[in-house]
Structure formats: structure tokens, C-alpha cells
Amino acid sequence: MPDTPLLDIKGLRVGFDTETGPVVAVDGIDLTLAPGRTLGLVGESGCGKSVTAFSIMRLLPQPHGTILSGQILFNGHDLAAAPLPSLCRLRGREISMIFQEPMTALNPVHPIGRQLAEAVSLHDPAPTAEVRRRCVEMLTRVRIPAPEARMNEYPHQLSGGMRQRIMIAMALINKPKLLIADEPTTALDVTVQAQILRLISDLQKEMGMGVILITHDLGVIAETCDDVAVMYAGRIVERAPVRELFAHPRHAYTRGLLASIPRLDSTPKTRLPAIPGQVAAITDFVEGCRFAQRLGLDPGTTRPPLIEIAPDHWVENFPSMLQAV
Amino acid sequence: MPLLSTTDLKVHFPIRGGVFARTAAWCRAVDGVSLSINPGETLGLVGESGCGKTTVGKAVVRLLEPTAGRIEFEKTDITRIPPRQLKPHRRHLQMIFQDPAESLNPRHSVRDILEEPFLIHRLGDRAERRQKVARLLDKVGLPSTAAEKFPFEFSGGQRQRIGIARAIALDPKLIVCDEAVSALDVSVQSQVLNLLLDLQRDLGLSYLFISHNLAVVKHMSDKVAVMYLGKIVELASSEAIYQHPRHAYTKALLAANPVPDPAAARHRVFLDGDVPSPINPPPGCAFGHRMKHPQYDQSLQSNPQLTEISPGHFVQLCACCTPAPATPDVAPPANHE
């Protein structure tokens, strides 16, 4: 681990005002990411993984979403407390984000060339011809066939995989130091998913950026990430280097998740070891162990602390969640 | 004797354009699909988006009119029979949809949703229907109090259970599951897959299980059909598809499936490009065309056909995708554990 992490999140708490009162979607999480590394954030819908991503970009829906406490240190600067003008200088240049749905993230009434050029000229007053040259170069990099012609096309004229490659081009055109990819391949076919993931990791090696990859697919995590954080109900329950996590999962939730995926080499038509129950509604979260709450066990009254059980392997310490396999 | 069989099923959609909305072209969504499902059996249908797998599912339950070909269900040709004659068969042919939020009427209570099949088919009186609803909820693992609630009060997994309860209400023989678990979280997905397996065992159901997730399809099915651009390119037992895939597309799909094991050896075959449009499908072997295979031109003359290469294992043979003899040019994914 290098001394200065690229991103260092400390005790981040994010809340939302809802009709039924305030809720805490991200409940005090710590994460670090070194330059050039990929951190996977995995968990079920509603566990707070996307909210974490949006907090880093400070793109929480306003006025309902707020960072309640904690720090998001990016190269030592606290993004959680940064004023808007300095954020605008960072967004799209130092930190970029790829969204899940390329069709909703791209503007349907502008040709993609103009949208790409905007990302460049917002941060760099280069001459138009130079901007265009960079756009075409980036489109070539993400393997868009006939990039010159594509510049004048609209998002609806492209296939899903192609649109996602445009999103990647847009996110990477300013060579950011940090890329946040929020379910970048969930809407895509496996074959296209493989292309996109390879593309992200090739460009990462080339540019040395740090990547946060958010997904619910443990297969994607296993193939692309260096480190993994497993989120459950707004908290990180386990965090480890990827091989360590898959080889020695300690938390009952991580183990349950790994066991419940159908695999190509599993025996067909056999029952899968499913995790019983379901995630509690966000308004019903307890202070104690939230996975124990799902299983109908006594969750205790205090938050289980994270303990380091092996080098860099942290797990939420709740006795009934840590029984030996 | 198969429960359901299709012979050379074709579903083409007209693309209309111009001032008089004339048919300008045809989208060949399903272009000659023959398959059969035996009682109590699951046939998996897998392929990329746009390959026509959903269209096959909808045509089989006659939600779409087939353009050509034949669908036989319980020895009756149901391809073109009028709605009145189709109705008694519909009881035995049900469907579960991908998005339970969109396939359940938000203004109907769960009781309304589950009683509707009985009302449509004029089965039972009020008391009997109430009893049936209670039994259905119990079968899919929902509390009896669920009957008075509305779909929005449930989580995604529970909503899919309601969809399943509706599908099994009339004791069907075949259920088409169209991406039934794709919208669910991993931990809930396995619960619903288990439920489908339990119901099949208890009720002797047959499934046409459609999904883009090869691992899920393989886990649920006895036989798997791999579709590409409106055609089946390989059909075999679920073990054979995984252990001895023969068609280059099947191999590519297997290789692209992310393996949840960072220590696993990777045999990635990267496919470039996207699925071509079914509006003007390339002639000959469509996959060879996508891969720009040097032997693609040979398939233009031979017109690749589905051929039985070993008992129960059918492959669309062509020089580009199934080079003979069966050289293992792409090793099947390594076995873990």
C-alpha cells in the first residue's frame, strides 16, 4: 500500500429526507483506494453503494440528500466540504463517473461529438479542431468503428454497447485520476460486458487511474478488482483483497452471497443455498448487526466494530456472523 | 411424446415506413426455430438481447402471431386456432414476466390479481376462490395476509412470487419464464430459483426458461438451446452444453460469463462488435459473419442446418463456427473445485 491513498473515505454518513422522515442510507463507512488500483463495491440494491458513489461526486439529489458527517479525502482535499466551484473543476477532469444507463446519461438531442467536446472544452480552452481531434482519438481508443462518422450521430443511432463505450470515452477523455463506474455493464449482454470491462482495465493500466467499480455481480468483481468491500444495509460488513475475500470469506453475508450464485459447474436442478429473509426496510434498520436482523437472530444493541482478521482483511465483528465455515 | 413442440417457427415483424405506411422491410425476429419440451422438463433458451428468445416465448403462448411454422401443444396444433378454441389451452400455458412491477396491476390487490384467472375461466365460486388464493400464497411462500395488500407494498422478490402464484393458479402444464429472475438481487434470485425448482417437482411442471444468464439457465434446465439472430445454433443437455460446447458462439458465451473466482484460469474469447440487426440478417452463418471468419464464405453455399452430432446434441454446422473435426480450438472453462 502506498503512503498516500488517492481516495480516503472516513466515517461517511449520508442521509435522505423522505416523506416518512429522515433515513440514513450510508451509515459510517471507511474506504481507501490507491492510485492504479480497482476497488469493487458489492451489495444488493438499496445497500448504499450507489449513494456512496454519488457522494464522492457530490451529486446527491438536492435538497433531500446530504452528507451528514465524515470526510472524502481526494488527494488530501476533503470533497465533502469542498465549495461548488472547486468541485466543478474536479468533476470530469480529475474524477469521472460512468453511469448504469447510457441512454439516460447521454443527451438524446445532441450528437455525441458535441457531448464529448463539451467534456473537453469545459476544462480546457483548446481550439475547436484540437478538441475534435482529441474526441476522435478517444473514440478510436474505445474501439468505436468509423469514429469520424459517429461524431455526428445521435445516441439513439447506437447500440447499447456502443453507447456505453461513448460514456467511457466521455469519462476518460480528460484522463481522470479517479473513475467511478456505477454498474457499468449491468444493462449489457455478457459478451459486450466482457468487452467493456477489458476496455476499462486496459485504459486504467495505460493511465494509472484508480477505479471504483460498483456492481452486484460477484463474477465481475472476481475478474476485475484488486480489493473488495461488501456492503449490507448501509454499512461495510467485509473488506479484503479480492483473492483473500473469495478464498476466505468470513462474514455470513459474504459467504451466503458466494454460495447462492448459480455457477456453470454446479449440478443442474439442485436447490441453491439461498440466504433466507430479505433486507429490512431502511426505516427499520437497527443499530446492531443488520444481517442478524435479516436472519431473525438477536442483532444486539451496539454496532459491531470492524476488526482486522488477516492483513487488510476487515470484517464486522458480530459473533454469530463469524462462525467458522 | 413432447408436451410442446414447434416446427420451423417464424415470427417476422413488418417495418412500416413512407407516406402510406407500406411494409418497407421485415424484422426476422425468429427465423425457423424447432424445439420440443417433454412433460416435467425444463428447456433453457439463452442468447444475447435481440436474438429472438422472448419472441419465441411469446409466440409459444400465442401472445404473438407466428408468421410461419407450427406450434403443437398436447398434440393439438395451436398455431392458428381462433381465441375461443385457444382458451382451454391457455389454462395450461402460462407465463412469468421479467419485471414483476410492470406485470402486476398496481390498482389491484393481490387477491384480485390471483382470483382473475379463475374468473376468466369461470372456475369455482367465491368461497372456493378465496380458498385457492390462500393455498397459492402458501405455495409460493407468502403469508396469507398478503392477499389484501397491493403490489407496491412488496419487495421485488415477493412481487415475483405473486407473479409465480398467478402463473400456477390454474394448474398449468407449461410455464414460460421470461427472464424471471434477471431483475432480482443475487440473494433473492436464488430463493426464487429454488421456488421454481420446488414447484416443478411438486406439480410436474414444464418450463421454457428464457434468460441471458448462461449460468442460471444451465442450473435450471435439462436441455439448453442457444439462440443467435433468430435461429438455434446449438441444442443439447445442460451438461453437454457446458462440457462439450461445439458451436463457436456457445463457446464465446461460456467464456464471456464472469466466473466468481479470482483464482480461476481465464480462457476469455473476446467477441468484437454487436449482434447484427435481424432486419437484414447476413446470409449464411450469421455468427461467422460477425467474427469475420475466413471460412465464412463457405457457409453461403452450404446454408447451415441444425444437425444431430451425437444423441440429443444438435449443432448448426458450418465451416466457420464448427470446424471439423472437433478440434478443441477453445478450451472449455476450467472446472473449479
pLDDT (tens digit per residue) in A221-234: 999 999 999 999 99
What is the per-residue pLDDT for B289? 83
Residue A49's Cβ-side half-sphere holds a number of Cα atoms within 13 Å equal to 27
ipTM reported for the complex surpasses 0.90: no
Residue B330 scores a pLDDT above 70: no
B205 in A contact zone (CB under 8 Å)? no
Q: Do B221 and A268 touch (CB under 8 A)?
A: yes
Per the domain annotation, does B137 fall within a domain? no
Read out DSSP for B232-267? EEEEEEHHHHHHS--SHHHHHHHHHSPPS-TTSPP-
d(CA A52, CA A183): 13
Task: Please give the pLDDT value at position A203.
Answer: 85
- Is B187 close to A257, i.e. CB distance below 8 A? yes
Cell of B143: 403469508
Residue B337 has what pLDDT? Answer: 39
Contacts of A192 in chain B (CB under 8 A): 48, 274
What is the mean pLDDT of the segment spanning A129-138? 93
Share of chain B above pLDDT 70, in %: 93
Does B20 lie at the interface with A, CB-CB under 8 angstroms? Answer: no
Write out chain B residues lying below 8 Å of A195, CB-based.
270-272
Query: What's the Cα-to-Cα distance from A151 to each of A38, A158, A170, A243, B86, rounded to whole Å?
Result: 30, 11, 12, 41, 51
Q: Is B56 helix (H, G, I), strand (E, B) or coil?
A: helix
Q: Identify the band that residue B265 occupies on the pLDDT scale cut at 50, 70 and 90.
A: low
B218: chain A residues, CB-CB within 8 Å: 262, 264, 268
Tell me the β-bridge partners of A178: A95, A210
Find the domain containing B61 and state its range. 4-92+170-258+266-316
B215: which 3 cell numbers?
A: 449460468
If we measure between CA atoms, which residue out of A76, A63, A56, A57 comes closest to residue A15?
A63
B101 lies in a domain? no
Q: Which of A221, A247, A272 sits opposite B194 (nearest CB)?
A: A272
Residue range A2-28, pLDDT digits in tens: 568 999 999 999 999 988 889 999 999
Residues B219-245: what's their mean pLDDT?
Answer: 94
pLDDT category of residue A65 using cuts at 50, 70 and 90: very high
Contacts of B155 in chain A (CB under 8 A): 278-279
Handedness of CA A160, A260, B47, B268 (dihedral sign): positive
Shortest distance, CA A97 to any CA of chain B (angstroms) = 23
What pLDDT digit, counting tens, does each position of B119-176 carry? 999 998 999 999 999 999 999 999 999 999 999 988 888 999 999 999 999 999 999 9
Compute the distance between CA of residue A280 and CA of residue A51 in angstroms, rounded to an integer.
Answer: 18
Residue to mutate among A186, A202, A258, A265, with most B CBs inside 10 A, is: A265
Looking at residue A198, what is its pLDDT?
A: 86
Q: What band does A188 get if pLDDT is binned at 50, 70 and 90?
A: confident
- Predicted local confidence at residue A109, as pLDDT: 94
Tracing cell 464464405 back to the chain, one arrives at B297
Comparing B225 with A279, which gets the higher pLDDT? B225
Residue of B nearest to A224 (CA): B262
* pLDDT digits 0-9 by tens, A258-269: 999 999 888 899
Range A142-180 burial, b when 16+ CB lie within 10 A, else e: bebeebeebbebebeebbbbbbbbbbbbbbbbbebbbbb
* DSSP code of residue A209: -
Name the closest residue on chain B to residue A254, using Cα atoms. B187
How many pairs of residues across A and B have Cβ atoms under 8 Å apart?
149
Backbone dihedral angles phi then psi of residue B317, each to the nearest 5 degrees:
-90, 130
Per-residue confidence band for B239, with pLDDT thresholds at 50, 70 and 90: very high
Inspect the interface and report whether the beta carbons of A193 and B214 lie closer than 8 Å: no
**What does DSSP say about strands B22-37 and B4-17: parallel, antiparallel, or unpaired?**
antiparallel
Which residues, numbered 243 to 272 in chain B, qualify as contacts with chain A under a Cβ-Cβ cut-off of 8 Å? 252-264, 266, 268, 270-272
pLDDT-derived band at B269 (thresholds 50, 70, 90) equals low
Task: Report d(CA B198, CA B194) in Å as an integer.
Answer: 6
Mutant choice from B54, B186, B201 vs A, greatest count of A C-beta within 10 A: B186
In a domain, B152, yes or no: no
Residues of B in contact with A218 (CB under 8 A): 186, 260
Strand order, beta sheet including B306-310: B93-96, B174-178, B206-211, B42-46, B223-228, B231-237, B313-316, B306-310
pLDDT at site B336 = 47
| Burial environment of residue B266 by CB neighbours within 10 A (0 to 12, 13 to 18, 19 or more) | exposed
Three-state DSSP class for A255? helix
A175/A138 Cα distance (integer angstroms) = 10
Of B194, B214, B274, the CB nearest to A271: B194
- Cβ neighbors of B135 (< 8 A, separation 6 or more) are none
Find cell 447451415 and name the residue: B304
Domains identified in chain B, total number: 1
- Conformation bin of residue A119: beta by default, left when phi > 0, alpha when psi is -120 to 50: alpha
Taking contacts as CB-CB distances below 8 angstroms, the residues of chain B near A268 are 218-222, 238-239
Secondary structure (3-state) at B313: strand
A71-130 pLDDT per residue, tens: 999 999 999 999 999 999 999 999 999 988 777 889 999 999 999 999 999 998 889 999
Q: Chain B partners of A247 at a C-beta cutoff of 8 Å?
A: 263
Contact of B182 with chain A, judged by CB distance below 8 Å, is answered with no
Residue found by looking up cell 473537453 in the block: A120
Task: Name the burial class of residue B265, with classes exposed (0-12), middle (13-18) and buried (19+) by CB atoms within 10 angstroms of its CB.
Answer: exposed
- Chain A residue with the nearest C-alpha to that of B157: A278
- Whether B69 is in a domain gets the answer yes
| Segment B272-301, tens digit of pLDDT | 766 777 888 888 888 888 888 888 888 887
Distance between CA atoms of A157 and A162, rounded to whole angstroms?
10
Q: Contact A275/B214, CB-based, under 8 Å?
A: no
Q: Predicted confidence band at B331 (pLDDT cuts at 50, 70, 90)? A: very low
pLDDT, residue B270, reads 67
For A163, the closest chain B residue by CA position comes to B274
Count other Cβ atoms within 10 Å, centred on residue A181: 26
**How many CB atoms within 10 Å of residue A23?**
16
Is the separation of the CB atoms in A12 and A52 below 8 Å?
Answer: yes
pLDDT at residue A1 greater than cutoff 50 = no
Nearest CA-CA partner of A279 in A216, A229, A324: A216
| The predicted structure's pLDDT at residue B266 | 64
Min Cα separation B162/chain A (Å):
16
Calculate mean pLDDT across residues B24-28: 86
In a domain, B179, yes or no: yes
B185 in contact with chain A, both atoms CB, cutoff 8 A: yes
Are B178 and B210 in contact by the 8 Å Cβ rule? The answer is: yes
B68: domain CATH number is 3.40.50.300
Is some CB atom of chain A closer than 8 A to the CB atom of B202?
A: no
> Nearest C-alpha of chain B: how many angstroms from A280?
10
Q: Name the grid cell of B306.
A: 441444425
Closest-CA distance, B135 to chain A, in angstroms, reads: 21
Shortest CA distance from A199: residue in chain B = B270
**What angle is formed at CA A6 by the lines to CA A199 and CA A117, rounded to 5 degrees?**
50
| Separation of alpha carbons A78 and A73, rounded Å | 4
CA distances from A213 to A43, A176, A228, A245, B325 (A): 12, 15, 9, 16, 42
Q: Answer yes or no: is B144 within a domain.
A: no
CB atoms within 10 A of CB B125: 8
pTM confidence score: 0.89
Closest CA to A203 of A195, A215, A192: A195
Does residue A12 sit in helix, strand or coil? Answer: strand
Distance from CA of A49 to the nearest CA of B (A): 14
Distance from CA of A58 to the nearest CA of B (A): 26
In a domain, B106, yes or no: no
Instruction: Please report the pLDDT score of residue A222 as a whole number.
Output: 93
pLDDT in tens, B42-94: 999 999 888 899 999 999 999 999 999 999 999 999 999 999 999 999 999 99
Q: Does B213 touch chain A (CB under 8 A)?
A: yes
Nearest CA of chain B to the CA of A44: how many Å?
A: 6
Whole-angstrom CA distances from A30 to A86, A211, A303 are: 24, 16, 15
The C-alpha cell 395451436 sits at B78
Q: Has residue B88 been placed in a domain?
A: yes
A266 → chain B, closest CA residue: B219
Cβ neighbours, 10 Å, residue A319: 10
Contacts (Cβ under 8 Å, ≥6 apart) of A100: A182, A183, A184, A186, A187
Q: Using CA atoms, how far apart are residues B30 and B69, in angstroms rounded to an integer?
A: 11
Q: Please state, in angstroms and rounded to a whole number, the distance separating the CA atoms of residues A316 and A307.
A: 6
d(CA A12, CA A70): 4
